[in-house]
Chains A and B, each alone.
Chain A
Amino acid sequence: MFRQVVARNFAVRNFARVSPQYTRSIVPAFNKNYTRFYSSSVTKEELVSNKLNDIVKTFIEEKGITFEKPLTDNLKLSEDLKLDSLDKVELVVAIEEEFELEINDDASDSFENLGQIKKFLTEKS
């Protein structure tokens, strides 16, 4: 029994001694095709939502609008953010450029809150 244990330990030690060289020669080859798998927990809606929130935050900062509350889907562009029709055009241009798509007049006229913009962008992107 003791002989088996000693033999096993010897094997482990030898493997440990050998393994750094072994891994050094193997790992780079393995790393060449290294692929990271993201968990599927981040949905398309969340990605769109985060990106849109960043655009809106930057936009209202540039406009000097102070808005402390978190940006929610029910947030109204006119009433809550105090954006006029020209500001809305400017915001639509910022969204178009960031999402690399064209928003037609009918759609942009219909935007009243952030939820509507998010829904449109999720369907289009």
Chain B
Amino acid sequence: MSMTPVLRKRFYDAYKSTIKSMNFTFQNDSKALLNSKQLLKNTCLNPLEMRQSLFKHIPEDTEGQIKHLEDMSKILRTNVAQAVQKDKYKYELKMHKDIELGDNETIKEDKGSQFKGKKFKRCCDSD
């Protein structure tokens, strides 16, 4: 993959940032950390092959791929929290300061949005 010096720098910065995010998010899970780094490296080295086999949403162009990597780094840090199983049905979510917290009011606004415009049917309604 040939890149201009500017894109090359952006790519290495994004790669470094993603490695840091992985170290941060999976810090207590060495197996997940090792696998995710391996997968990241394979995807960066062969993006088009990985696009066909695993990740269908990876953009085809280099700039788009770098943007995808930058977004991944951010999402890993702000939207992924690991959970530890404490009991059969009990998991403890490991929250940290970087996790993005939603506002309850905005959640209420979107409540039921997936059913808007669709015919509502109760279980007791007859066909």
Contacts and interface: CB of A to CB of B under 8 A. Distances in A.
Given A62-B34, A86-B41, A86-B44, A93 B9 contact: no
Contact of B45 (A86, A89, A97): A86
Contacts of B44: 86
B19 A90 contact: yes
B37 interface: yes
Interface in A75-125: 85-87, 89-90, 92-93, 97, 105
Interface residues of B, number: 13
B26 to A, nearest CB: 13
Contacts, number: 23
For the complex, would chain B's binding face be called helix, strand, loop or mixed by DSSP majority?
A: helix
Interface string A11-51: 00000000000000000000000000000000000000000
Contacts of B9: 105
B12 interface: yes
B92 to A, nearest CB: 25
B50 to A, nearest CB: 14
Interface in B1-24: 9, 12-13, 15-16, 19-20, 23
Which of B13, B19, B20, B44 lies at the interface centre, i.e. has the most chain A CB atoms within 10 A of its CB? B19
A97 B23 contact: yes
Interface of A: 62, 85-87, 89-90, 92-93, 97, 105
A89 B16 contact: yes
Interface string B20-39: 10010000000000100100
A89 B34 contact: no
A62 B20 CA distance: 16
A105 B12 contact: yes
Q: 10 tightest CB-CB pairs across the interface, nearest first?
A: A93-B19, A89-B16, A86-B41, A89-B15, A90-B19, A93-B20, A93-B16, A89-B12, A86-B44, A62-B34
A87 B16 CA distance: 10
Contacts of A93: 16, 19-20, 23
A55 to B, nearest CB: 13
A87 B15 CA distance: 11
Nearest to B33: A62
Nearest to B37: A90
16 contacts: A62-B34, A85-B12, A86-B15, A86-B44, A87-B41, A89-B12, A89-B15, A89-B16, A89-B19, A90-B19, A90-B37, A93-B16, A93-B20, A97-B20, A97-B23, A105-B12
